Amino acid sequence: MKSLFSLLFITSTLMSTAQLKYPATKKTDFSEDYHGTRVEDPYRWLEDDNSEETKSWVRDENKVTFDYLSKIPYRDEIKKRLEMLWDYPKYSSPFQKAGYYYFFKQEGLQNQAVMYRQKGIDGEPEEFLNPNTLSKEGIAALAGFNFSKNGKYIAYSIAVAGSDWQEVYVMETSTKKLLSDKIQYVKFSNYSWDKEDGFYYSGYDKPDEKSKLSGQNQFHKVFYHKLGTEQSADSLVYEDKQHPLRYHFGGLSEDGRFLVLNVTEGTSGAEIWYLDKQSKSSKLQLLIPGFATEPDFVDNHGDFLLIKTNDNAPNYKVVLIDPKNPDKSKWKTIIPEKEEALQSVSTAGGYLFAQYLKDASTKVYQYTYDGKLVREITLPGIGSATGFGGEKEDKEFFYTFSSFSTPPSIYRYNIGDGQSSLFRKTKTNMNTDDFVTDQIFYKSKDGTRVPMFLTYKRGIDLSSGKNPVLLYGYGGFNVPITPAFSISNAFFIEQGGIFVVANLRGGSEYGEKWHKAGMLEKKQNVFDDFIAAAEFLIKKRFTNPDKLAIKGGSNGGLLVGAAMTQRPELFKVALPQVGVMDMLRFHKFTVGWGWTVEYGSSDSANHFPFLYKYSPYHNLRKGVHYPATLVTTADHDDRVVPAHSFKFAARLQEYHNGSNPVLIRIDTNAGHGAGKPTSKLIEEAADTWSFLMKNLDMPFNNDPSAVKSNDGKKPAQKKAF
């Protein structure tokens, strides 16, 4: 016999679905010719984020969405549970500077983490930089920082409401006094100090205020700011008037001798220029021409430069280059290419630390600058480790390790003897000891072997065919998805769900070959990998289509949009977040031009056909029964402008034929995701999980410890299929 709560839940579900009515959205007869193909774009007007018509549409859509969410009986209970779970101290790894240990701490429900410092490892912590004091809503976030050579000053940037635009300030560290220096119109920048005198940074000319959040960004430049002067007096270090759509990043080697300039045409491919400040010349010289490879400056070794590169090494290697004779035939290999994919190389204590992925799990090796292997660093297990960096004088550093089922722990590493010791263990408000993570492998459509991680609560029946599953993926931009703990995902797991991550092509899990197999005309491989993961989970009876949800953000939002338009019957719930949904026009906004090296461009007659074939906005079909869909975006997202989600949601509501709700949630004073305050994270998580659980027919359990199988034993699991 069903409980009264269950009956109320079912009644409310039926009523809210039956009564759901979407706002009337204006359509125009606008169309555009692409290389002889006429493409309709009836919702083009939604691209104008400043128009009153668009703002009115946003208000109407949000009203329908939040009315729907407010009627979910356990939505408030889920939010309370999330607030309780979120409310624990979160620490970053400490780092040393000028006699202090600096670290970040978030008390629990603070909107932004606070930077602290202390004298010595056992010193008393003092608050150093608190972004929470800059905005009562918590929407001002620390976006980047760097200390001067001797630690006398810190340059730091602040981003407001999630925008990529930043303002830079300078503080004297001894007094915590804010100096008069202020730099505006900064976007995608590092801050590289020249001793204590000033620093290099990257930015744009002053943008038009009206189109600041959507207009195309052009002519990224490198400047030098001398401390104590106005921004107008900053020296222009580098600009390229012939190529407005390039990024430029400048920085000094640790010893200050070499100024190194990294130039990219987008998110893939680069060239490197340099200036030896000991030479008489003041002109930058080309070291590695672009843009066929992915070179990355590591450090100088005396007169020579250490470069991480994939030139004739798809899994990357480290080479030593004489800048006076940079011909490739003269390069010396310092760290040869391995079977595993090299992700990054950092420095500390006069050593190199090479970080690799082995089936998406971290492995780290310590080398001398001459390439002699010192040791492999012993990590606590299979998972993700970050850190492994410091200054040449350091004798130790700290790194963080976590996995899907293990909250972050901080370890102290002795550079001399290679010993790691536990420094700080995270104490959450839930028992994750019952969480289990399995890595298994499945075959994609073309036979490619793809790994996935499944994390679940010990004791559930994995072969029942009825488990609620959330499948997550990204698959792009050479970005790996590695095991990492999320308190939000942990909530879903404690409620009896299985959280699954598929390591799709397009990432860097297996080097540049893996990346290239999921980009440009091969992008469909990524969607095939994701769809094959869903089919595998169903075939092996982990779940069924009525219990399967998919989720992804940004490029992962594109992934979800493509998967649900190509195979709508395979999923019950779709959660595309801040997704790239219009593949014909993404490059027209802000920094979308930088993604053409990954996706291609509709301006190209060769690229247009494959973009048009999978573009989510253009592949919605009339009369199709789509999954229950909650599109999420934000009004200050100037990375993937909200017009993508607006247009996709409008057409989805027009074409959808079925009882599943298809809604859009538009956050205010928020951006692409970085720097989002805790309060907004919890609100969004509560809405997302409520929507997912309701539409997977997954009741909220106030006693998560009761979610287990009949025998309470962990089922036997194979590691590969």
The answer to whether the peptide bond before residue 291 is cis (omega within 30 degrees of 0) is yes
What are 666's strand-pairing partners?
A: 633
* Contact (Cβ atoms closer than 8 angstroms) between residue 325 and residue 304: no
Q: Both tokens of residue 209?
A: 């205020």
Closest CA to 501 of 479, 525, 531, 471: 471
Nearest to 466 by CA among 371, 389, 541, 575: 541
CA distance 354 to 576: 34
Active-site positions? 554, 672
Are the C-beta atoms of 617 and 651 separated by less than 8 Å? yes
Q: Coil, strand or helix: which one is 698? A: coil
Using only C-alpha atoms, what is the Rg of the chain? 26
For CA atoms 363, 369, 373, 377, the dihedral sign is: negative
Q: Cα dist. 336→77, 320, 341, 403, 574 in Å?
A: 54, 11, 11, 28, 43
Q: Residue 677 in contact with residue 138, Cβ under 8 Å? A: yes
**Per-residue tokens: 471:** 């499948």
The whole-angstrom separation of Cα 641 and Cα 647 is 11
Strands (E), 409-541: 409-414, 420-425, 435-443, 449-457, 469-472, 498-502
Q: At what angle do helices 52-70 and 678-695 cross, to 10 degrees?
A: 60
Beta bridge partners of 399: 411
Number of Cβ within a 10 Å radius of residue 700:
19
CA distance 544 to 573: 12
Separation between Cα atoms, residue 215 and residue 448, nearest integer Å: 40
